[in-house]
Structures are given as C-alpha cells and as structure tokens.
C-alpha cells in the first residue's frame, strides 16, 4: 500500500471529492443522506480523518494490574488506566466482521486479553459513511453493495491502527499482531503491510487473496461446512497461500461454526501460535 499522510494517500482532488459525494448519496445506506450531503466539504472526505475515527472509537481489552479493563479507546476510564502503564505490552489489532463487534468477536478479544495481550479493535462503523455489505440472516453479502470500497476501508483501518500504535509508549512494537474474523479475516489476509509479527485469520475463505509478506507467519482457522462459504473450497485460504509461497498454518474444523471462539481446540491453537511468535521481553 502506498504511504502518505498517516499511512495512505489522502486523494483530495476535486474529481475524487465529487465522485465520493455521489458514492455517499447512493450507498450511504442511511448513514448519510441528502441533507448531510449538502453540507459535505473536502475535509469530510479526508481518509486520514475517517480512519482516525475508527481507531479513536476502537474497542479495547486488557488486564491491567490484575483488573480486566474494556471500553472504547476514547473513554476517559480507559485512558486513565492506560496512562499508568509503564511496562510495554504485546498488542493485537483485531478486525471485526461485516456487522461490527458481535459476541463472537468479543469472545476472541477476551481470550487474547486474558492471555496478557492488549487487544484493540478499530470500529469500522465509526466512519461518517460506512455502507452495509452483508446480510447475516441469509449468510451472504448484499448484492450491489460497494464491496471493493469497503474492503479498501478495512485496509486503511488496519494500516492506520499500525501507524497509531507505533506512537503509543506502552505498545511493544516488537510484538504487534494482527487478527481478524469473517470480513475482518478477509481484510487480514489481503493486508500487504509488514508491521505485524504474525497474522490470524478466522472464518474467511480469503476471497480477496492472501497478500501478506511471505515471511509473515499466518494461522488460518475455518469450518468445513461454514454456511458463509457458498461454493468456495473450505481450504481456499491455504490454496491461495501456497500459490504465493506464503507461510500459513491452516486448520480445518468439522461442523458449521462460522466463529470458532467457543471451540477449545481453536482457542488453544490461537494462543499457542501467538505465544510462539511473541518475542521475549
């Protein structure tokens, strides 16, 4: 990904602004309407600002001085607890699914937090415009939704989280990890940046490709009869990784579970994988 202010190009040209204004009007899905569009200005379309919103509203979990802490990064309570941190923390950026932080996502985060990681999940829906792209009741994407643009948004959010975390004193920059579930897992698989020691992919067939740096270890978990996979091979992530010569550890589970956060074996695999790649402090 080309880098600019905050990690990506701001793209402020007038034609881009006009195109995005049209995009917001037709694809806003209720997040922004005609009245808001009338007040639209170039700053509204600043990509750094939009990604910054996702990090400021990110959900945080960690155990600090024996106390389990969770809340938004912008919450005064969370900031007060983080202000007292002195020892550096291994940190995981968690990319949520297509509808935000559901219970399964939170279970994954809690698993990692209780193991001693600081876990931060950028909130993609904190953006001023964020189209819906999936229908969980039918376990499929929404036809005609701007999937390509939203996938680009998810890349921006990961890149921005990496950018912000490297400027926080308590974050152990040698132990930064990336994990995602479902649409978030697809985003992790497609992420080309080299800022994370290892990647974990859950509930995704990596339909946007596996573009991780070849030297980055990857753990991928998937269920054989996951109802979201449709006609794609259950081991699609592994196939794509092998074609690119990417280092992937792949585990296929029996059953239909889209989220494996309750599966004891999956939980153990995730912790063992991360701990194995965590550099001793």
Say which CATH number the domain at 136 has. 3.40.50.1820
pLDDT of residue 76: 95
Distance between CA atoms of residues 221 and 11, nearest Å: 36
192 touches 262 (CB < 8 A): no
Same domain membership, residue 175 and residue 143: yes
If asked whether residues 39 and 88 sit together in one domain, one would say no
Same domain, 80 and 31: no
Residue 10 has pLDDT above 90, yes or no: no
60, 38: one domain: no
Tens of pLDDT, residue by residue over 35-93, are: 443 343 434 447 888 999 999 999 999 999 999 999 999 999 999 999 988 899 999 99
pTM: 0.83
Could you read off the pLDDT of 184-196 as tens digits, one per residue?
A: 999 999 999 999 9
Q: How confident is the model at residue 254 (pLDDT cuts 50, 70, 90)?
A: very high
Comparing 206 with 6, which gets the higher pLDDT?
Answer: 206
Phi/psi-derived region of residue 122, left when phi > 0, alpha when psi is between -120 and 50, beta in every other case: beta
Local confidence band at 160 (pLDDT 50, 70, 90 cut-offs): very high
- Report the distance separating Cα 60 and Cα 74, nearest Å: 10
Residue 122 lies inside a defined structural domain of this protein: yes
Provide the residue range defining the domain that includes 68: 47-277
Cβ-based burial of 99 (10 A; exposed 0-12, middle 13-18, buried ≥19): middle
pLDDT of 140 reads 78
Both 17 and 123 in one domain: the answer is no
> Is 121 within a domain?
yes
Do 25 and 91 fall within a single domain?
no
Average pLDDT of the chain, as a whole number: 85
List pLDDT tens digits, range 207-252: 999 999 999 999 999 999 998 887 889 999 999 999 999 989 999 9
What percent of the chain is predicted at pLDDT more than 70?
Answer: 83
Is 202 within a domain? yes
Q: CA 232 to CA 116: how far, in whole Å?
A: 36
| pLDDT (0 to 100) of residue 279 | 80
More confident residue, 125 or 135: 125
Task: Let me know whether 22 and 99 are in one domain.
Answer: no
Kindly state whether residues 64 and 190 are assigned to the same domain.
yes
Does 39 lie in the same domain as 134?
Answer: no
* Pair (226, 254) in one structural domain: yes
94 domain residue, yes or no: yes
Kindly report the number of other CB atoms within 10 A of residue 85's CB atom: 16
104 within domain boundaries: yes
The stretch 120-134 carries a mean pLDDT of 90
- Does 204 lie in the same domain as 73? yes
Confidence of residue 119 (pLDDT cuts 50, 70, 90): very high
Domain count, the chain: 2
- 18 and 79 share a domain? no
């Amino acid at each position: 990904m080309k880098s600019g202010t905050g990690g990506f190009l701001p793209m402020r040209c007038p034609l881009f602004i006009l195109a995005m204004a049209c995009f917001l009007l037709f694809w806003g899905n209720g997040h922004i309407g005609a009245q808001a569009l009338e007040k639209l200005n170039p700053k509204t379309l600043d990509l750094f600002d939009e990604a910054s919103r996702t990090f400021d509203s990110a959900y945080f979990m960690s155990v600090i001085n024996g106390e389990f802490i969770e809340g938004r990064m912008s919450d005064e309570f969370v900031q007060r607890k983080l202000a007292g941190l002195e020892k550096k923390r291994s940190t995981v950026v968690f990319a949520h699914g297509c509808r935000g932080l559901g219970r399964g996502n939170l279970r994954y985060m809690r698993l990692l937090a209780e193991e001693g990681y600081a876990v931060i999940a950028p909130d993609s829906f904190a953006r001023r415009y964020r189209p819906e792209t999936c229908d969980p009741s039918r376990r499929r994407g929404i036809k005609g939704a701007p999937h390509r643009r939203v996938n680009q948004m998810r890349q921006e959010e990961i890149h921005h989280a990496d950018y912000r975390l490297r400027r926080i004193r308590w974050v152990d920059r040698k132990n930064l990890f990336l994990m995602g579930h479902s649409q978030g897992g697809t985003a992790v698989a497609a992420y080309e940046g080299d800022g994370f020691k290892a990647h974990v992919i859950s509930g995704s067939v990596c339909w946007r490709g596996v573009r991780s740096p070849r030297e980055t270890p990857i753990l991928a978990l998937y269920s054989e009869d996951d109802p979201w996979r449709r006609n794609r091979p259950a081991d699609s992530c592994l196939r794509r990784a092998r074609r690119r010569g990417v280092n992937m550890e792949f585990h296929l589970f029996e059953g239909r579970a889209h989220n494996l956060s309750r599966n004891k074996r999956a939980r153990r695999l995730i912790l063992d994988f991360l701990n194995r790649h965590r550099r001793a402090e």
